A and B are shown apart, each in its own frame.
Chain A
Amino acid sequence: MNYRFNPSDNYERTMQEVGYLPRTAATPETYSALGFKCGLEVHQQLLTKQKLFCRCPAGIYQKADDYDAEIIRHMRPTLSELGEYDGTALMEFKTRKNIVYRIKDATACTYDIDDTPPFPIIRVALDIAIQSALLLKTNIVGVLHVARKQYLDGSIPTGFQRTAIVGIEGSIPLKNKTVRIIQISIEEDSCREVSDIGHWRVYRTDRLGMPLIETVTYPDMLTPDEAAEAAHYIRFLNRASGKVRVGMGAAREDVNVSITGGTRVEIKGVAHIQWIPNLVHVEAFRQRSLLLIKAELAKRGLDPKSWAISHKELDPDLLPREQKAIKRVRARGWHLLGINLPKFEGILSHFTQPDRMFADEISDRLKVIACLERPNMLHSEQLHLFGDEQELVDIRDYLDAQPGDAQIVLWGPPDDMKTALETIEERCKLAMAGVPNETRKSISDGTTIFERVLPGADRMYPDTDSAPISIDDNVINEVRKSLPVDVSDRIAQLRDWKVPEDCFAYILRNNLIPLIETMISECKQTPRFVATMFGHGLKNLEGKKKAQPDFSFEKIRKLLLFVEQRKLGNEILKKMLPVIYSHPNMDFDSVLTTIDFREQRIEEILEFLPALRRKYLEIRKREGREAKIRWVMGQMRKRAVGNVSLRELHERVSKEIVHG
């Protein structure tokens, strides 16, 4: 029997059917045609000395291999209301993960490892949360009730996150619309993952328990750019208090995406807002692809109730010996299974994401649910066929495959095979229903991979260990007194100051407006100039290298005062800034020496003019006064910077040359 299916053609053809195009080519109409909708969950760590529910220090991080002890736990699903296990719970239980916590005495106590009940919430964290809740214009609750939100992946040793609603139903204004806020909550942060290999998942507990606020929006964003804009806005809003943490991992976004006919899919833990647009763009088309697959399977008459896979044990000799995985199968005594997927031809190589096909959806689930490290399977529609065509034909014959069937070759430890087969069958059946409810993890190429089944609201229950905390009007009024200005007002203020728009993000992200206001009140600078120095000058430097730990924005304030006191021109700032950025503790006079600055009056500088004019006559290549003036200015520039404004010097030089 011959086997003539061409997976490459199929992949290209399906990509065209899906209508995939790169984000740069997409327009708002692209997304409205898809019925794209997107919501955000923005997590922001608060700047507190202690963790939220215990008295361990917050913000001290350990390296992955730096720990004092290890603890091992397993997470067990609890029955839900209907006597069924929640989908996520069941999946996590199937994985039979051994979860290891690496604890360090300096950052974790018996609360962190769930051997001591919680201590009262730290009040300072709650006050910061109330402040953000007010800025989001939410309705603040009368009493804070701590809830337990179940997480069975082990990222929190209790198996749940302690979390409480501070406010509900608010809004934020974007450029062209208002985005509604569902709620803002205060909660404890989770562990950081060290590794997740096979049946062992390792976490460190340094970040665990640090206070966070989570802001959840309605799915009001209708384009990827709006999603990024909303994420920025919420970040600026949180940072306006000056009481939140900044830096890597201090703010993380979960993004919910759906399209018409699709399902809410959550992309977890996006660390950079600029990644959001591309991720949600790709996810929208992934959902579109899955909907086309659903339609195709329906056309073929596949019914999840009756459709089933079949499998047989394979002789490793059937496959090429040089395949690395096959070597492993032999060496470790693993099972090698051939699996037939009836009427699935053309589905495995169906486009899902750029450089990803439907078969990857299966392989990703095998890794997470059956604990089979990748590569964990081969299939009949690989772009690069394993072995030669004859081997595939042999396997098809051995599995009694019919024309139009597809095949998977699976391997792994014998104990994991049952779960693996269930996982393959389940994923294929889910394809008949469309887009499965999932949380997905972003990876660096802009695509996402399966992380876990999306849990429902059925995983919340009250924390019986924590007493409710009353938030009366006095508390709210107290917080209101020191409420920072609204982000939208801040933006209006920057516009009013005529600050270039590309400076806004940097200034708002670093909450610099209060500092700029102070600076313009104490020296004769325009707000536009000061803002640009931050938003262009400093931002540019940050892009080139990391700031020294002693560097702070306050240094810039002092620098401006220094320049004003010494009556130096603004041009000198451009030269001083990089030095101060790299050597924040250097005094300003030394900085001037470092950049070879000598104090000179304009007359002293102009004394060089006759000599420079003579020199120009010797070396000139072009005629004309303008060229001459430009050359002379270039020669004088270095002496002039800081001593005299370049414009003034230009005027004087021009006058001399014209008249002389």
Chain B
Amino acid sequence: MVDLFKGYKGDALATLQKFNARVWSQTKVETTRGEFKGILLPRSENDDEQHVVIKLATGYNIGIATETITNMTEEGYKEAHYKIPEKEFPYRAGRPNVKLLGTGGTIASRLDYRTGAVIPAFSPGELYGAVPELADICNLSTEKLFAVFSENMGPEQYKTLAIAIGKEIEKGIDGIVIGHGTDTMHHTASALSFMVQDSPVPIVMVGSQRSSDRPSSDAALNLMHATKTAAESDIAEVMVCMFGPTSDEYGLLHRGTRVRKMHSSYRSTFRTIGDIPLAMVDRQKITPLKPKYNRRRLDRKAKIIPFFEEKVALVYYYPNMMPDMITSLIDNGYKGIIIAGTGLGHINKPLYPAIERCAKEGMAVYMTVQTLWGYVHMFVYDTGRDLMSKGIIPLANMLPEVAYIKLAWALGQTSDLEKVKELMLTPVVDEITDREPYNGYLIFQGGVPEVEEFLKRIHK
């Protein structure tokens, strides 16, 4: 049956039914506050039941309380149909072939002004319609693997992605771009760093912090930077490509195992932690910042290792944490725990018995630091030495989220704790580094005249 009253519930639905006013109809609403005319819009699931919403001729939406409505009259009806305009993507021989894999985030979109809906653009034709500059960069093809929000990405999606990437590499693609929501992009980036090893081509993750329906969106520029990187870059690694400064100037390429989302809303939210980014990318060129990286190759060999153990936890330590936080994990059959400890990698004494029990039950327990920057140093204080003696293994400067993903990946392959330890402590792509460069830890905290001067002169 056709739903004539899309999304309306309760009082609002009763009112529409009483006056037989359909969603999408041009409606005259008489109320105790006067008369309103406009298109009756559908309601979304979580909206309240006391109001109806219409779009006025001026384009504005307004809400009307049902209790004030005395009459409604349909004066016309036109259902909205969404369709994104497609323009054929102009393929040209000689340009690099890039594959865009979609996971569900909106990379490009268009607005439906009648309803205000945002319609995602994804096929090459749709993308070309929205970001025509892409045609100057590469021959683009796309595949939508799934449609999930960033926060719902998980083991199944990681594995599917890794396998899909493997197939594309085999087929001879020149570079891969993965569209992804930004919230958990760094989790997926590290999962792919472990699951797809020795890739001969760049694998570039990209998203946007301001949705693509807004004129000031970072989406189009991010997409151009990412496709340019996939098409031309010599860096054959899993990378995150997002804004460097908040200004529309250049993107940064972050190594998949060293990147983290550091701001809830800034465009330049992604930062390389404990190191410097791999490279800068703008519309004209890619400028490497680190001399060492895996180079692009012509062969088609990549190792695809799609494993993931789901019973792994990441525990963020806080003062006065009770032991039951750990024991409940043991009781629930968890196989591994990553602890994000304080300072150099510490937790309090009352947790010791629980940690000892972990060792007895054959759980893998690893230590990282919640300071994010710097190494775990468990030899400095007694606490650290005690913890190691109870079976906690320090993970150097591996980021907590990366450690979580890597432990799940390792435990997915073997339950032999020695083998797991070997996997964990042998870096695949700099998730552990021997040294931290002096310029890795750059956080401008303001107040220093030189920094303020720098901020004034350089576009943020």
Interface residues of A (CB under 8 A from B): 67-84, 89, 110, 113-117, 138-145, 147-152, 157-160, 163-165, 168-169, 182-183, 185, 457-462, 464, 468, 470, 472
Contact = CB atoms under 8 A, between A and B. Distances in A.
B332 interface: no
B174 to A, nearest CB: 26
Interface in B43-64: 51, 53, 56-64
Contacts of A144: 62-63
B247 A72 contact: yes
A147 B214 CA distance: 12
A110 B265 contact: yes
Given A157-B216, A165-B56, A472 B65 contact: yes
Secondary structure of the A contact surface, majority rule: loop
Interface stretch (B112-120, B342-350, B370-378): B112-120
Nearest to A158: B216
6 contacts: A68-B455, A78-B214, A142-B64, A144-B62, A457-B59, A460-B59
A72 B215 contact: no
A75 B215 contact: yes
Interface stretch (B28-36, B142-150, B287-295, B424-432): B28-36
B341 interface: no
A23 to B, nearest CB: 31
B186 interface: no
Interface in B202-242: 209-217, 220-221
Nearest to A116: B265
Contact of B33 (A140, A160, A464): A140
A145 B60 contact: yes
A69 B51 contact: no
Given A158-B214, A159-B216, A141 B459 contact: no
B456 A142 contact: no
A458 B267 contact: no
Given A75-B215, A141-B63, A468-B63, A69 B113 contact: no
A563 B113 CA distance: 64
A81 B459 contact: no
A142 B84 CA distance: 33
The 10 closest A-B pairs by CB, nearest first: A143-B63, A83-B85, A159-B215, A139-B34, A460-B59, A142-B65, A79-B110, A159-B216, A141-B62, A145-B61
B77 interface: no
Contacts of B59: 147, 149, 457-461
**A75, A84, A141: which has the most chain B beta carbons within 10 Å?**
A141
Contacts of B51: 142-143, 468, 470
Contact of A460 (B64, B65, B113, B456): B113
A429 to B, nearest CB: 24
Contacts of B84: 79, 83
A139 B216 contact: no
A169 B35 contact: yes
Given A70-B247, A144-B63, 15 more contacts: A67-B456, A70-B459, A73-B247, A78-B111, A79-B130, A80-B111, A141-B36, A141-B64, A143-B65, A145-B61, A145-B62, A159-B214, A169-B34, A461-B116, A464-B118
A76 B456 contact: no
Contacts of A159: 214-217
B210 A114 contact: yes
A297 to B, nearest CB: 33
A148 B118 CA distance: 13
Contacts of B220: 76
Contacts of A158: 210, 214-216
**B57, B63, B112, B456: which has the most chain A beta carbons within 10 Å?**
B63
